Every structure is written in structure tokens, then in C-alpha cells.
Amino acid sequence: MKHLKKLLFVVFLMIACVSPTFARGDISVTKDNGVYHVILKGERIKKKMKFVVSEDLITNREAHIRGRSELTINTGFFDPKNAKSISYIVTDRMISGDPMFNSALLANPFFRKNMNKILNRTEFRIMECGNKREYAIVAHNAEVPFGCVVETSAQGGPLIWPELRLEEEGFIVKNAAGEVIRESAHVLQKTSRTIIGIKGTDECHILIITDENPMDMYEVQQLCKDLQLDRAMAFDGGSSTSFNYKNIEVISTKGDGAGRMLKSFMVIH
């Protein structure tokens, strides 16, 4: 019996080393092959989730501490030069991040030409529908269902699953011969990523793809398919990819280890 207990303890340690798991109530976090997989389950967690915008650029760690958040990730795109948002963000039913107030975006000839695509990029919504809250991953201009109101949302893009909308959302541009002549957000390159998805009605999945196993968007799409997500989209990635939860901190930037200065975040109070 003593030997059996010792063997079981050794097996437990081996499993823990291969795939560390952190769980607290509605939140579970696992890591496998350089990818953190966060699962948020149930109705109660939806009330705790909120997308927020910082007036100035701050790190994910600062947002985590200031908001007294249990879990914090980076979300929308932004202009690091003028600290303005390039993504729509809704906080407490009010628009807190609006690309139309970003003068640099409007002054850029490429952005002006593709403004409809950029402004209609995919967003993640938490909607109040009667006495329930619902997740949605839709284009920004998609209608809100009757009887629902958007409590909080964050735009990013592109939509990844069930279809990858790189050209439709202005992340790549092709010439007449079908060759890519412009690429944004390193969507065709292997890099770290912040991904959010939906499975069923009560599961939100977050994938933090670290520098240990960088992926292009086609590889991310396959990962979302393998996880059997219903819908999935990207937030800002690369050096913006950031994650704080318990003693876990993911920072993709080099340097002093503080992390990149960011504009918007998803926090769980």
C-alpha cells in the first residue's frame, strides 16, 4: 500500500510538470506546448468580465494591479505614437475607445481607403439579454439581437474560426495576380498571439500563444478547430501579447521585463 501511494504521488508530479493547471471557481488555466489555455465557465463569470481603456498607455501588469483584477489580458489595436485606439471598445454600455477620434488613422491614405473594412473588424461582445448575459463574436456593424444590449466589448480581428477573414478585414491586401502586397499585424508571420473564442453558450476560451511556440494565423485557425471552438477571433498580438493571472505573467517584449505599453484590456474583477 505504501509503495502504491508513492507511485501515485510520482505520477501526479509528472503530470503536473507536463501540464500545469490552475483553477479557481469559474477560471481554469492550463499550459501545453507554449500555449496557455484559459477557460471561463458559467453565467457568473460573465458579470465579472469587462473591457476597459486606459487614458495613457500602461502595461498589462499595471492594468492588472490598478483594476484589482483576477485575470487581465491585452485586447484592441492602438497607435503607440499618439496613444489613441484603433479598435472600438465598450465599457459599461458606453464607447470608451473610438477609432474615429484617432486623427493619425484618418490621415493615413491606406487606412482612409480601407476605412470600412477597418472599422468593421471583428469584436467580442458580452450582451445583457433579459436576465442572462450572452457572448458573441461578430463584425462591429452586426446588429444587436432584439431585447439585448452590449454591456462591454472589444474589437480586434481578424475573425479566425469558422473562417479566416484576413483580406475582408484589411489585414492583407492582394494585387490583381493574387499576391500579398501589404500585411498588417504580422498575420502571416509566426509570432505570439492573444486569441479569444466561444464554445457553447457558457464557455469563453482564451489562448495566450507565447514566444515559446509562435504561430501564424493559419496555425491558430487549426488550433481553434482542434479545440472545437464555435467561433474565435484575435486581439492585438506580437509584442502586445500579455497575460496576468495569479503567479503567471506573460510578456512578449524584451528589455526590462516590464512589458509593452498598451491601451485596452479585458479584466475579470
Q: State pLDDT tens for residues 216-226.
A: 999 999 999 99
Report the percent of the chain where pLDDT is more than 70. 88
Q: Is the pLDDT of residue 2 over 90?
A: no
Rounded to whole angstroms, the Cα distance separating 187 from 167 reads 11
Structure confidence at residue 124 as a pLDDT band (50, 70, 90): very high
| Mean pLDDT, rounded, for 49-72 | 97
Rounded to whole angstroms, the Cα distance separating 152 from 81 reads 26
In a domain, 15, yes or no: no
In a domain, 17, yes or no: no
In a domain, 20, yes or no: no
In a domain, 2, yes or no: no
Structure confidence at residue 9 as a pLDDT band (50, 70, 90): very low
Torsion sign over Cα 165, 160, 204, 40: negative
Of 39, 36, 69, 29, the C-alpha closest to 202 is 39
Exposure string over 84-123, b if 16+ CB within 10 A, otherwise e: bbbbbbbbeeeebbebeebeebeeeeebeebbebbbbbbb
Q: Write out pLDDT tens, residues 68-85.
A: 999 999 999 999 999 999
Structure confidence at residue 12 as a pLDDT band (50, 70, 90): very low
List the grid coordinates of 101: 477620434
Q: Is the pLDDT of residue 117 over 70?
A: yes
Domains: count for the chain: 1
What integer pLDDT is reported at residue 106 of this predicted model? 86
How does DSSP classify residue 189? S
| Mean pLDDT, rounded, for 108-120 | 92
Task: Write out the residue range of the structural domain in which residue 253 sits.
Answer: 32-186+194-268
In a domain, 199, yes or no: yes
In a domain, 14, yes or no: no
Cβ(57)–Cβ(263) under 8 Å? yes
What integer pLDDT is reported at residue 13 of this predicted model? 41
Q: To the nearest whole number, what is the mean pLDDT of the chain?
A: 91
Rounded to whole angstroms, the Cα distance separating 231 from 138 reads 9
Rounded to whole angstroms, the Cα distance separating 101 from 121 reads 17
Contacts with 147 (C-beta within 8 Å, 6 or more apart), sequence order: 129, 130
Q: Is the pLDDT of residue 39 over 60?
A: yes
CA dihedral 171, 82, 97, 50 (to 10 degrees): 90
In a domain, 161, yes or no: yes
What integer pLDDT is reported at residue 254 of this predicted model? 56
What integer pLDDT is reported at residue 255 of this predicted model? 53
Backbone phi and psi for residue 244, each to the nearest 5 degrees, phi listed first: -130, 125
Q: Is the pLDDT of residue 193 over 60?
A: yes
pTM: 0.90
Q: Are strands 49-58 and 132-139 parallel, antiparallel or unpaired?
A: unpaired
What integer pLDDT is reported at residue 7 of this predicted model? 44
